[in-house]
Amino acid sequence: MTVVDGPVPVLDVRGVTKTFPGVIANEDIDLTLNQGEIHCLLGENGAGKSTLVNVIFGLYKPDKGTVKVRGEEVKFAGVGEAIEHGIGMVHQHFQLIPVFTVAENVILGDELTNGPFLSMNEARRRIRELEEQYGLIVDPDAKVGDLSVGEQQRVELVKALFREADILILDEPTAVLTPGEVDDFFAVVRSLVDQGKSIIFITHKLREVLAVADRITVLRNGRIAGTADPATATQQSLANLMVGRDVVFQVDKGEAHPGEVALRVEDLSVEDERSVMTVNGFSAEVRAGEIFGIAGVEGNGQRELVEAITGMRRKAGGTVEILGHNATKLTPRKIAELGTAHIPEDRNKHGLVGSYSVADNMVLNKYSQAPFARRWVRNTSAVHDEAEELVEQFDIRTPSVDVPIDTLSGGNQQKVIVARELTGDVDLLIVAQPTRGLDVGSIEYIHQQIIDRRDRGAAVLLVSAELDEILSLSDRIGVLYRGRLVGVFDGADATREELGYLMATGSTPDTEEVAS
Amino acid sequence: MTQGTPIPTRLVTDLGKDELAPRRRFGRRQIVGIVFGSIGIGLLGGIAPAITSETRAFAFEPPPDPLSLQFNPKTIVIVIGIVYLITAALSFLPAKYDRWSLIGQIVATALGIPLILAISLALSAAPETNVINLLDQSLILATPIALGAMTGLWCERSGIINIGIEGMMLGAAGVGFMTYAIMGAASSPGWLWIAILVAILAGGLLATLHAVLSIRYQINQIVSGVVINLFALGLTGFIRSEVIVPSGSSKGVPTADIALPILSKIPIIGDTLFTGRPLHFLMYLVVFLTWLVMFRTAWGLRVRSCGEKPHAAETLGINVIKIRYQAVILGGFIAGLAGAWFSMEAQAGFEDNMTNAAGFIALAAMIFGKWTPWGAFAGALLFGFARALGSRLQFLDVSIGDFGIPSEFFQMLPFLVTMIVVAGALGRAVAPAAEGQPYTPSK
Ligand SMILES: Nc1ncnc2c1ncn2[C@@H]1O[C@H](COP(=O)(O)OP(=O)(O)OP(=O)(O)O)[C@@H](O)[C@H]1O
Ligand SMILES: [Mg+2]
């Protein structure tokens, strides 16, 4: 018998099919994972990546197909059995309990006990061990709700490693991380591989894929679209394989023609939940027909700034003028009615109502206006028509506009918000992290839409943690540092290095000399 | 190139560190401070001058010749009034003295009890009242409230709202006493304990009904709770008129006093506080075990995770549905014990609706205690005290001049204090995040 004497894959998925009502999320998927490798899974939003890994993790039961772990065929009745087989997963949406401590989150479900009682000391000891072994720094006694996203990410990894997982599934772990956190994260991933772990890694960031992957598999519409070799693949070739057409990375942007001032913010101060002035004396003007990008390391007041301008947060001082009206004390709804559209940073909290249908979410900002309502009575058929049109136009993958929006893939949820906010009369567009978690094709489309809006005379305030996004879209770039603009650049001649330095230190190299 | 006004580029400003420090704001703490301040002014300016300066006494032992504490009500009112003014001042100190203002408000709240006692004693004809007895009464009346609060805790911490505690208690009280009445009232006293066991099981059974309705069939949990309450009311009414009354033994002998070893020998308090009925003492054990199991064992950790984020629990291999069933039914057993207290310890007999809203007060105690066992227990004690004080003041015959103050007024006072405390000093209570949301496992 001639057996190809390659390594036995630690994970071997054959012919997996998984359907949800109205959607074939996975169809006849084959996938292998070898010992000690990083296998990247790519695909558009809604391609079925999360579904596939949830099947492997035992959370979903496949309709057809088999999963073999280290050569042994498994049929998991639940997640518990997958964990016993050494599979660990970091979910796309964190599965942490905010009011528990790190240690409690880590041991939950696999508790360390001393007689009948929990042994938290033992838990702390084990967490410290993992910390040393893999460079995952976490405080076992911190409350998870108080941690930054990057720290929560580490807790998720510690959870998996604590259960002695050697097959790790990472579902878009870098989507919410800042550039610095991404570097730390990859350092950890490398140390994991060095110690013999095998990793399935899902991401939309092609640069990351080329940097870390040993093998690449691309999904499209629930099927395998192809595989690629990281040695020869390019970002362009991967993108084309994902989307099935040519993707343009460089946004095509004409000159800006700034007009009247649409947004004027003067000396704005805003407090966060802990009563810290995170926005402190912020002043800026955004004119009709220009995109003003705000760059800055996360946590320098971006969130509070956007919430204050859109009326969601109390202002401690200063004024906001929108389209010639004093908007300092207006409610979010009044501000929206002035002609402002807002794509919020936290889509689940501020952008969507999870249990409402896609259609209802599409009209959240105009449900009470004609034609969607006549006096107090809603016109559901108008809502329905509008939603179907937008789903078509923005290529949103959903079985129908009537399903609850939280059954959509993460990226498609984001597209619903973008579709809603970019339709209708918009004179001022406020966008925060508009393409977080989106695939390259969707990013291209949304960028084009934002520029389109600008060309039709809207003023755009863009806040993003992605420096590339800021650089490619903005006509002017402001750097936010500790709640205040520390520099404003012309979009055409700003450089990554210059912005990066200012973002990190709050000053440019020459002025620092003056100060010292 | 852009048009319009020139674009300012490369403008660099610097920013001082101190500007990022937290600032003081006008909030709950200050409002509560103002409330205490106004009470203080009222005490010093209004009540103290009007009150008698004859001596009054708190007795600590039964007559004759009790150990007692003599005091002058006027002095007490003045002292407490000054403390209240200080508390008010503390709440306007800068943020870094937050601790002190919190301590001040807790002390001020605790002083509310001697204040109410002193004022009412000064206004009454009787020169003394026995405070140990009052304390004992409070503890006894807190029994069903504390037990009910533990029921609520187990359910809500697992994610299931339970407003059917009242019904579970009432049903258990009725079914338990029915067992006692028809099986063994006349024969041996051992039957009482079997009847208590039946009551506990009946509580568990009603809880199972609640669990099936709200977990399996995902009926709105409030509706399911209301159904339990109505069902229990009807069922026990039927049991009383059709079974207990015809059995001829609608009165029996309740559980007997026991004296706890050693503790009951403590002078002054031992005889009153540590000699009492068994279910009452069991209540302390239940509260302690609830805390121990919920916060120190693996199962307790799982229960709490199901009440916070069931999907996260599921991704760790925890069977959310099973855990919720277990927690709700355990809660039902505890409610059953509370029911047994009503019909077989407080008295031996069953009356329609004898639980008299204790189940709802238990829920209030649980929320007062921010969904923690000891907090809920403290809430139960407070409500128990309110009830004991109300009945005590009926005997003391309190009046201002010729006008007799209705005892309901004094009964209301502790609740008023509670509201101030809950609204202010303790801050917002946060319920388990997933409470009330039905859960469907992934497929
Ligand atoms: N629980 C569910 N119920 C119904 N449909 C679902 C469910 N989960 C996923 N789907 C559907 O299955 C398809 C694949 O979704 P999946 O979450 O796997 O996409 P994805 O590739 O992870 O996308 P993204 O990059 O946006 O996260 C989508 O069309 C989605 O609407
Ligand atoms: Mg996904």
CB contact under 8 A, B304 and A100: yes
Mean pLDDT confidence for B96-119: 82
Total-model pTM: 0.84
How confident is the model over B52-78, as pLDDT tens digits?
A: 777 888 887 776 677 778 888 888 889
Q: At what angle do helices A410-422 and A440-455 cross, to 10 degrees?
A: 10
Min Cα separation A391/chain B (Å):
26
How confident is the model over B262-316, as pLDDT tens digits?
A: 787 777 677 777 888 999 999 999 999 999 999 999 999 999 999 999 999 999 9
Per-residue pLDDT at B44 exceeds 50: yes
Class of domain A9-243: alpha beta
Going from the C-alpha of A217 to that of each of A52, A242, A410, B376, the distances in angstroms are 12, 10, 20, 55
Q: Which pLDDT does position B270 carry in this prediction?
A: 72
The residue among B151, B432, B171 whose CA lies nearest residue B287 is B151
Of the listed ranges A53-67, A297-311, B165-179, the one predicted with least confidence? A297-311
Confidence of residue A460 (pLDDT cuts 50, 70, 90): very high
- What average pLDDT does the structure give for chain A? 89
Q: Which pLDDT does position A24 carry in this prediction?
A: 92
CB contact under 8 A, B314 and A107: no
Count Cβ atoms below 10 Å from residue B293 Cβ, excluding itself.
18
Q: CA nearest A355 in B: which residue? A: B437
Quote the tokens at residue B352: 């329609």
Backbone torsions φ then ψ of A443, nearest 5 degrees: -60, -45
Q: Does A259-339+427-516 match A9-243 at the fold level?
A: yes
The partner residue sitting opposite B15, judged by closest CB among A98, A110, A482, is A482
Q: At what angle do helices B278-296 and B373-396 cross, to 10 degrees?
A: 150
Q: Which pLDDT does position A6 carry in this prediction?
A: 63
Q: Which pLDDT does position B425 carry in this prediction?
A: 53
Number of H helices, E strands in chain A: 17, 24
> For residue B242, what is the DSSP state?
I
Min Cα separation A487/chain B (Å):
5
Min Cα separation A299/chain B (Å):
13
- Using a pLDDT cut of 70, give the percent of chain B over it: 86
CA–CA separation, B369 and B174 (whole Å): 29
Confidence of residue B5 (pLDDT cuts 50, 70, 90): very low
- What average pLDDT does the structure give for chain B? 84
Q: Which residue has the higher pLDDT, A443 or B326?
A: B326
Q: Which pLDDT does position A516 carry in this prediction?
A: 36
Question: Domain limits of chain A?
Answer: 9-243, 259-339+427-516, 350-424
Per-residue pLDDT at A511 exceeds 70: no
Mean pLDDT confidence for A73-102: 93
Confidence of residue B414 (pLDDT cuts 50, 70, 90): low
Residues of A in contact with B23 (CB under 8 A): 271, 275, 277, 316
CB contact under 8 A, A118 and B297: yes
How confident is the model over A424-455, as pLDDT tens digits?
A: 889 999 999 888 888 888 888 889 989 999 99
Q: Which pLDDT does position B114 carry in this prediction?
A: 83
Q: Which pLDDT does position B19 carry in this prediction?
A: 39
CB contact under 8 A, A91 and B8: no
Q: Which pLDDT does position B427 carry in this prediction?
A: 61
Mean pLDDT confidence for B75-82: 91
Collapse the DSSP code of A11 into the 3-class scheme (helix H, G, I; strand E, B; otherwise coil) and give the result. Answer: strand
Per-residue pLDDT at B391 exceeds 90: no
Answer whether A357 contacts ligand 1 (Cβ < 6 A).
no
Q: Which pLDDT does position B2 carry in this prediction?
A: 37
CB contact under 8 A, B2 and A290: yes
Q: Nearest 5 degrees, angle CA A453-CA A286-CA A502?
A: 110
The residue type of B177 is F
Count Cβ atoms below 10 Å from residue B242 Cβ, excluding itself.
11
Confidence of residue B22 (pLDDT cuts 50, 70, 90): very low
Which residues are CB-contacts of A455 (< 8 A; sequence separation ≥ 6)? A254, A289
First to last CA, chain A: 77
Q: Does B10 touch chain A if contact means CB atoms closer than 8 Å?
A: yes
Beta bridge partners, A340, equal A428
Q: Nearest 5 degrees, angle CA A442-CA A448-CA A450?
A: 105
Ligand nearest to the CA of A415: 1
Four-way CATH pick for A259-339+427-516: 3.40.50.300, 3.30.559.10, 3.40.50.620, 3.30.413.10: 3.40.50.300
Q: Which pLDDT does position B21 carry in this prediction?
A: 41
Q: Which pLDDT does position B4 carry in this prediction?
A: 37
Q: Which pLDDT does position B213 carry in this prediction?
A: 96
Q: Which pLDDT does position A427 carry in this prediction?
A: 94
Q: Which pLDDT does position A2 carry in this prediction?
A: 45
How confident is the model over A367-386, as pLDDT tens digits?
A: 888 888 888 888 889 999 99
Quote the tokens at residue A459: 């003023």
How confident is the model over A203-221, as pLDDT tens digits?
A: 998 888 999 999 999 999 9
CA–CA separation, A125 and A140 (whole Å): 9
Confidence of residue B135 (pLDDT cuts 50, 70, 90): confident
The partner residue sitting opposite A59, judged by closest CB among B2, B15, B442, is B442
CA–CA separation, B184 and B376 (whole Å): 36
On the CB side of B32, CA atoms within 13 Å amount to 27
Ligand nearest to the CA of A52: 1
Structural domains present in chain B: 28-122 (no CATH), 136-425 (1.10.3470)
Here the ipTM equals: 0.82
Per-residue pLDDT at A45 exceeds 50: yes
Count Cβ atoms below 10 Å from residue A489 Cβ, excluding itself.
23
